[in-house]
A and B are shown apart, each in its own frame.
Chain A
Amino acid sequence: MAEETGTMERGKSAFAPNMQWRRVKSHFFVALGMLCVLLGIVTLVVLLVDVILQSAGWFDWQFFTSFDSRFPERAGIKAALFGTLYMMAFTMLMAVPIGIMSAVYLEEYASDNWFTQFIQINIANLAGVPSIVYGLLGLQVFVRWMEMGRSVLAGSCTMALLILPVIIVASREAIRAVPPSMREASFALGASKWETVRSHVLPYALPGMLTGAILAAARAIGETAPLITIGALTFVPFLPEHPLDRFTVLPIQIFNWVSRAQSEFHELAAAGIIVLLVVLIVLNSAAIYLRQRLRTRY
């Protein structure tokens, strides 16, 4: 009897549900996770509130329609905003087609030999190269050798190089996600390789490709270092008239305002940061919208 109880107790302890302690551990893990999430969100909220409070009162029509000035109440971001938009337009025109075509070639056409692998490793590595290196390359190749000068075009070419690896990697992922059955069905109907790529692979992979391209653009918009290196200017009281014209961009304008002596300019810088954030949010929202909208078609 005593022995039996002993076995039962042993059995009981071996299989004890011990729910209380396990629940505590479970709750503890949830709390830890929440803490990690909050850490990021609280920091972001504090930063945002600080920036928004500082920028309060500086947003008016004048802010968007004026060039920089030594009087804070006359200064605006017209040149920087347009400079950023111009530069990004040319950047995307160059980087998106080249990036997508490279990805299609690498995924659909290239044979798997050492050369292709060499290229693939290099593209992956290039995606991690610090942006200042692209700036130095751009200064030597585009500004000096190709004699583009300190122009919108030189900036765009440098930025296109910067985001090309990201676009290629994202596009290849998107192409890889196309089910082989789609290609096989197309081949079975007698379509050629190009017809298959054009009518099936590309449309199917497009949402993923565009998402990658837009996220890459969002990265490029916030870049300052490579543009300072190639010589984007600080005070530009005019809009670029052609691709070879001089320009400035939002991050450079913000950087300049932050370093001025007068504290009103620090508030203007905060307003500039809000504009940059809004541009980024619009781009990211566009990426999400495109992905959702194009995906539902299949």
Chain B
Amino acid sequence: MTAPVRISRRRFTFAAAGLAGFALLAACGGDTATQPAADSGEMAEGEKGEMMAELQGDIIIDGSSTVFPITMAAAEEFSLKHSGVRVSVGVSGTGGGFKKFSAGETDISDASRPIKPSELEAVTAAGYNFIEIPVAYDGLTVVVNPENDWVDCLTVDELKKMWEPAAQGEITNWNQIRDGFPDMPLDLFAPGVDSGTFDYFTEAIVGESQSSRGDFQASEDDNVLVTGVSGSASAIGYFGLSYYVENTDKVRGVPIDSGNGTCVEPSFATVADGSYQPLSRPIFIYVRTDAAERPEVDAFVKYYLSPEFTPLISSPEVGYVQLSDELYAALTERFANRVTGTLWPDGAEVGASLDRYMP
């Protein structure tokens, strides 16, 4: 009678010990992880004599998924140079990023459009100020299936006819867009309504942000849009230039006529020289002014705008269009002088120039 009781108690103790061991393991893991950080701190102390003071600290960045590849590249390269600085980047969308920014949870906010007046109000009400920095251009590319041999160019008016709210249920065939286009159903693919890309496309093409027909296939994942357009001969869709550049074998980019009669191909070059209109837009980072006083944040933003980093923005791994060197120099100067506030009091503008940041 006593035997099973003893065994059972031992089993139970064993299991309890296992659980405690699990706890210990977790705690030890935490300890060992803290150790090297403390060491490197002391090392930095010792090395101060021979080189510049080693930077220490955390930089927290969040916001747009469009800006993510650039900021991530900057964080990756910066971490290699300053191993004591821990830069983390989140993806909560431009709007979600500004919410965290105004709650003081992030130091830098990635944004694929300028701050909106309502967001500006929230940031100001929370007692924060910011330095606004455009970091690159993004081009929105209209794409069709490679089998599509009838579209050589589309005008803004034709795109508007295709995408405006009134087109819903009415414009369903290619032959309604232009005389001479074949009798083919219109298969529409576009980013979801929460994305900044959708905001900008509707603003630039329809004339009002968020104003679009609703009967299209939407996805927040641009790769899904690529697959969709490449799977249907009569499909048309739009997404960021970097996704087009990676998928030129699956989809064909459509040149856009902004209304002056010339068709402009979507490419890094046409976005950079400003001729690809109205579908190219600047993308931004917003730095909290009080965070910029911390040496690690200051150094990170300066690195972000330096000639050492900016050429990487147009590397194939990142896939965006860099601004001119003069503009980066002016922006560095502007950041060093801590010029706060937005230069876009009414929010996003179509076809806007960044010359306003020049001194």
Contacts and interface: CB of A to CB of B under 8 A. Distances in A.
B30 A237 contact: no
Interface stretch (A13-21, A39-47, A89-97, A160-168): A89-97
What is the interface of chain B mostly: helix, strand, loop, or mixed? helix
Contact of B11 (A149, A150, A206, A232): A206
A60 interface: no
B221 A200 contact: no
B72 A70 contact: yes
Interface string B55-94: 0001010100100110011011001000000111111100
B357 interface: no
A294 interface: yes
A93, A210, A235: most-surrounded residue (chain B CB, <10 A): A235
Contacts of B222: 259, 261
Contact of A256 (B7, B91, B246): B91
B317 A262 contact: yes
Contact of A206 (B12, B68, B317): B12
Nearest to A92: B22
A298 B15 CA distance: 16
Interface residues of A, number: 47
Contact of A246 (B33, B37, B88, B91): B88
A86 B90 contact: no
A239 interface: yes
For chain B, the bracket of interface size reads: 35 or more
Interface in A112-151: 149-150
B108 to A, nearest CB: 13
Interface in B305-358: 316-319
B133 to A, nearest CB: 19
Interface in A226-279: 228, 231-243, 246, 256, 258-263, 266
A70 B89 CA distance: 13
A234 B242 CA distance: 19
Contact of A259 (B58, B62, B100, B223): B223
A176 B75 CA distance: 54
B19 interface: yes
B332 to A, nearest CB: 23
24 contacts: A69-B76, A70-B72, A86-B29, A89-B23, A199-B8, A203-B11, A204-B8, A206-B15, A234-B72, A234-B89, A235-B72, A236-B88, A237-B76, A237-B79, A237-B88, A241-B30, A241-B37, A246-B88, A259-B65, A261-B223, A261-B240, A261-B243, A261-B247, A262-B246
Interface of A: 68-71, 86, 89-90, 92-93, 96-97, 149-150, 198-200, 202-204, 206, 210, 228, 231-243, 246, 256, 258-263, 266, 294, 297-298
Nearest 8 A-B pairs (CB), nearest first? A203-B8, A89-B26, A235-B89, A233-B90, A203-B12, A261-B246, A70-B317, A261-B243
